[in-house]
A = this chain, B = another copy of it.
Amino acid sequence: MEEFFVSYAVICDDDEIEREARDLVLEQTVEVPESLITDPDIRERVVGRVDAIAPAGDRRWQVRAAYRTALACGQIPQLLNLLYGNISIKKHIRLESVDWPASLLDRFPGPNWGVDGLRRRLGVYDRPLLATAIKPRGASNQQFAAIAGAFALAGGDLIKDDHNLADCDLEAFRARVGLCQEAVDRANARTGRATIYAPNLSVPIEQLERRLDVLVRLGVGGVMIAPYILGLDALRGIAARYPFVLIAHPTFSGAYYRGAEHGIAPELAIGDLMRICGADISIFPHHGGRFALTPDECRGIGAALRRPLGRMRPAFPAPAGGMKLDRVASMAETYGLDTVFLVGGALLSHDGGVAAGATAFLDAIRAHFGERLETPQTDLPGACDLDGEPTRADAAEHLPFDPTAHAWAARPAVAYKASAELPFQGVARHELIGMHGEKTDFHLRYFEVAPGGFTSLERHHHTHTVIAVRGRGLLIQGDERRPLAPLDIAYIPPMAVHQLRNETDEPFGFFCIVDARRDRPIAP
Contacts and interface: CB of A to CB of B under 8 A. Distances in A.
A204 B75 contact: yes
B31 A136 contact: yes
Nearest to A291: B89
A465 B444 contact: yes
A254 B88 CA distance: 4
Interface string A129-173: 000010111110000000000000000000000111011100000
A455 to B, nearest CB: 17
A442 B137 CA distance: 39
Interface string A85-114: 111111100000000000000000000000
Contacts of A444: 465, 467, 489, 513
Contacts of A27: 290
A76 B255 contact: no
Nearest to A82: B164
B233 A205 contact: yes
Counting chain B CB atoms within 10 Å of each CB, the highest count among A41, A77, A256, A263 belongs to A77
B465 A440 contact: yes
A229 B77 contact: yes
A447 to B, nearest CB: 13
A163 B36 contact: no
Contacts of A488: 398-401
Interface residues of A, number: 125
A32 B344 contact: yes
Given A36-B136, A74-B168, A76-B204, A487 B401 contact: yes
What is the copy number of this chain in the assembly?
2
A487 B81 CA distance: 51
A176 interface: no
Interface in A212-237: 226, 229-234, 236-237
Contacts of A490: 397-399
A220 to B, nearest CB: 18
Interface string A344-379: 110011000000000000000000000000000000
Contacts of A28: 164
A491 interface: yes
A399 B489 contact: yes
A482 interface: yes
A139 B39 contact: yes
Contacts of A486: 401, 403
Interface in A53-101: 71, 73-78, 80-82, 84-91
Interface string A21-41: 001000111111101110101
Contacts of A206: 237, 240-241
A88 B252 CA distance: 5
Nearest to A46: B138
A485 interface: yes
B164 A254 contact: no
A127 interface: no
B345 A439 contact: no
Interface string A306-321: 0000000000000000
A238 to B, nearest CB: 9
Contacts of A396: 489, 491
B42 A487 contact: no
A383 interface: no
A516 interface: yes
B439 A32 contact: no
A473 interface: no
A285 B233 contact: no
A507 interface: no
Given A32-B135, A513-B513, A204 B254 contact: no
Contact of A88 (B37, B203, B236, B251): B251
Contact of A30 (B45, B136, B485): B136
A433 B236 CA distance: 26
Nearest to A231: B231
B81 A164 contact: yes
A279 B104 CA distance: 32
A264 B255 contact: yes
A138 B42 contact: yes
Pick the 9 closest A-B CB pairs, nearest first: A88-B254, A231-B231, A89-B254, A46-B138, A401-B487, A42-B138, A30-B136, A85-B251, A442-B442
Given A399-B491, A401-B489, 9 more contacts: A42-B139, A75-B204, A81-B164, A88-B251, A89-B254, A90-B292, A91-B258, A255-B262, A399-B489
20 contacts: A27-B290, A29-B137, A30-B137, A31-B133, A31-B345, A35-B349, A74-B168, A81-B163, A81-B226, A84-B255, A88-B252, A89-B258, A204-B237, A396-B489, A397-B493, A401-B488, A432-B489, A439-B493, A444-B489, A469-B487
